[in-house]
Structures are given as structure tokens and as C-alpha cells.
Amino acid sequence: MRTSSSRVLAAIVALGVCLGLTACVPGLIDPFAGGNGSSTDPSDADDTTDPDDPSDAAEAPVVLDPGPSSTAIDWRPCDHHARFDCAEVLLPLDHADPGGDQVRIALRRLPAGGPEEERLGTLWINPGGPGESGIDLVTMVGSFFGDDLLERYDVVGFDPRGVGASTHVVCLLDGEDDPSWVDLDLDTPKGLARVESGFTALGELCRERSGALLDHVSTADTVADLEALRALTGEQLNYLGYSYGTLIGAVYADTYPERVGRMVLDGAIDPSVGYTDLQAQQTWTFQRAFARFVTTCREDADCPLDADPRAAETQVLDWIDELDVSPVPSDAEDGELTGQELVAALASALYAPWDWDVVVEDLADAVADSDPDGSALDELQGEWYGGALNYPFWFSAIDCVDYPVGTFDEAVTHARELAAGSPVFGAGSIAEIQCATWPAKARDERVPVSGTGAAPILVVGTLFDPATPYAWAVSLSRQLESATLLTYEGDGHAVYGGVSWCVDGFVEDYLIDGAVPPPGMSCPSAF
């Protein structure tokens, strides 16, 4: 088995882990470029002095707040976002102990642009991850939500507990190195010991700095938060979730079916799938997406990949080895493109088929025999990491209390199986290994949902989605008794928001008028 830096590849088959919103939210390439919705003024965007951005503040161990919980949402104009309102609310760390310690939940709102009498209420949104920022997504929706939607709804995002500007998981303090950043050698006793020791040490730091928060960042905890937030508005829950955000929505519908208003779940997760199967199925869909990328690549005369996907995979493996030994120059921040960064860039590219023709050119530049330039791919893979020091750990913190896993040895066996099945995209699949050494454990098994009694729900599935297999959307639509499945017959991860006029039309008709598509409805690929 090839060795690799564990942290670089940890993200590659992480569930919907679009480590930059351009990868999570379809169609959003430049958040201020305009789209099928109204444009957003760049002056409304985050800047380097935004007090709501956790990456701007020095990290410190988690301090929980005393009760009581908030009884209202006190909206105020955001400091650096003129069109938006901001708020923080206190909610119980443990909803079974409402008077105990509290966590802070950060919210951001884009008020409805139309007349008050035409307002439909609040539309809550989540971009996925787990670990992505809902308040950042709100800042961008003017670029890809439809005009009618923005006229009729207040759009509200929140950073889930454990994440971002909310009370978030802290593992490292400023200036500290990640002890799990080791070669991923799973073939030798020394290598295995080094991997286990590194991840165990990281977990100990996370427990030391985050304390009891680590035990209370599950999807069930976030769903209880979402219900508390909904209750503060006095409305039914209208919700749009992408990727991991669909799991939040599905569990909410199952837990509070009578509170569901209109709910769109785009890039769906199957709540019943366990972690080992989840990793295997997702690795397979990345492999299939790569084969489809190769087909597109071969339409360009400059394509450096072989027409046979397996042969192309061998080429990529050779480039990984070469670049890890001798990285090519890059104008990006770190100044070079390594083999592991090449894999991260290719994985990221699979989320956005509208950019595949550009990525082909970037790949040709990076592996050219003369004057190779890795700048563009280096920048692309850099989108997989957020600015906050502890951002990479928010995914693990949530997944590891959501999904029961076995022992370290069992996780290693599964990682080896993934690497054998997909040497490019499976070789860095260490999420299960990390959870086996994580200090907080899942309390519940993964089970199907039903949402009995919920209002109609719209599930959107992409036929060749690399991150959330289409089969998951089919399964979720069958589990939720009131769900209708809308199929997008294309590539990429999630759809609503400027990718397909067909999907956008059905989603907006549903959110505005409550009209679900006819059963079995599909939309053609836009690329």
C-alpha cells in the first residue's frame, strides 16, 4: 500500500466534505458573480476583519455558557454585512438538561425582499459537511437562489454546534502541530503504531480542549437545536439542506414530523447506512465519477490521460509518486503541488462538472514534460481546507458521534479494502480509523427514518453524484413516507442553484407553491 499524508487524504472520501462552499453548493463558482438569482454586493462579503469569522480569532479551549437558554432571537445588523442580520442564541449543551451548560449558536439572515404580505416565512439552509458554515452560505445565496424565492422567504443559516462561529470543537491551539499528520503506512507494525498513536494523541487534545462538547455534537443534537430555533420563530420548519444537510433534515422530519413545512433534501444521505458501507459506496462513486471525467478529458486534444479509466488511474498513481518525490512549482500559497495535493484536486474537481474542461487544461499543465505548472490544481485542492485552525476536525467530531465503528484493527482492515478497490480515491480513507481512536463515541445505531405524518418532502438525487450516491436518494425517498424523488441525470454533487433550470424550477415551485413534481420526474444533464 502506498503511504500518504493522512490529513490531506482524510477529506477525499469524507461524506460530502466540500471543504469550500464552491464545492458544496452547486453552481456557485464566484459568490458575487450573479446567477439565476439577484446579485450580491461584494461589500456584503466576509473580509479579513469580520468579527463573526472564527478563523480571525486566536483559538482557546472551549468555555460553555451558563443557562438559561435564549427565549427569543435578537436580530441585529451584521457588522460587515450591510444586507444581513446576525444573532446568537444560547441552547442547552444537553437538551435533556435544559437548565445546564449552554452552547452558542450563530445565525445569519437575509430578509425577504418582497412585500410583507407575500412573505412565506423562514427558509433554514445548511450546506453540508459536516462542518460547513450555514452563516457563510447565507451571505452567498443572492448569487444562486431564484429571485422569487428571495422575495418570499427570509433565508437563515446557522453554524451547527461544534462548527464555525458557534461554540466549536477545539483540538489545536495556535502554533501547535497536528499529531495525526503522519505517513499513512498501514502495512508495517511500526507504521500502524505510528498511525494509531498519532490519532490517539489528537483525540486526547480534542477532549482536553473541547471537554463535554465532544459528546454533544451529533446530528440528533443539531436537530434538537433546529427545533428550538424553529420554535423561537413560531413557524413551521421550511428547510433546504445539501449533502450532510439532508441527514439533518431527514432526522428532523423523523423526530418532529408535525413541524415540517416545506423541505428540500439535495444530494441525499441514506440515514440507515453504516460507516463501513458508507465509505465503500462513496469510494465506488468517486471511482465512477473519475471514469466519466476521463471520458470528458479525452474530448480535449491536450488530455494527458489514457482513454481507459484503469490505465488513467495507473497514470495518476505514477504522477502521485513522482510529485511526492519532486513537487512541481506552484504560485499558490505553499509554492508547490505534491502528489497527495493532486489527488485532492482531482477529487474536488469531480464535484463540479461545469469546470471539467478547465481542469483538463490544468492537469496537462501540471504533468507537462517541460515547465510544468501546478498552480491551478494547487489552488483547487486548497479549497478543501477552510481558514480556521480547527476546521479539519469538525467533520470528524460530528461523524464519530453519529456512526458507531469497531476497533482500530477492524478500521484498518476496511481502509485496506478501500485502497485495494480504488488505489487513488480509497487509499486515504482513514475517517473510520480516526473514529476508532476518537474519545467520544456514537450512542445510537444507524436506522431508517419514516417521517410519518410529515408534509410532502422533496428529495433531489444526482445520477452520477460522486459524494452522495444516487442510490441513497432513492433509498431516502422510499424511507420518508411523504417524499417525492426528483432525479437529475447528470454529474456533480447536489444540484439546486444554477446548475439545471429544470431542477431549479421544480424546487422553487415546491418551496413557493407547495407543488411537488410528478412521480418519477427526471431532469436532463446540463453538461
> Is 465 part of the annotated catalytic residue set?
yes
**Which string of b and e fits 172-185 if b means at least 16 CB within 10 Å?**
beeeeebbbebebb
Distance CA 241, CA 85 (A): 21
Distance CA 452, CA 176 (A): 48
Helical H segments across 373-482, by residue range? 375-382, 391-402, 408-421, 431-437, 470-479
- CA 127: distance to chain centroid? 6
Pick the catalytic residue from 53, 185, 465, 504: 465
CA angle 83/39/51 to nearest 5° reads 40
Identify the three-state secondary structure at position 445: coil
The beta strands (E) that lie in 12-168 are given as 76-78, 81-92, 102-110, 121-126, 153-158
DSSP one-letter code for 518:
P
From the list 385, 94, 389, 57, the residue with the least C-alpha distance to 217 is 94
> Is 243 part of the annotated catalytic residue set?
yes
The grid coordinates of residue 464 equal 452520477
Distance CA 83, CA 81 (A): 6
Distance CA 88, CA 131 (A): 18
Asked if 103 contacts 91 with a C-beta cutoff of 8 angstroms, the reply is yes
Asked if 27 contacts 497 with a C-beta cutoff of 8 angstroms, the reply is yes
The grid coordinates of residue 24 equal 458544496
* 524 beta partners: 489
Type of residue numbered 368:
A
Pick the catalytic residue from 218, 243, 396, 500: 243
DSSP one-letter code for 165:
T
The grid coordinates of residue 234 equal 413560531
- Which H/E stretch holds residue 233? helix 219-233
- Which H/E stretch holds residue 464? strand 457-464
From the list 157, 128, 161, the residue with the least C-alpha distance to 15 is 128
Distance CA 246, CA 500 (A): 19
State the catalytic residues.
243, 465, 493
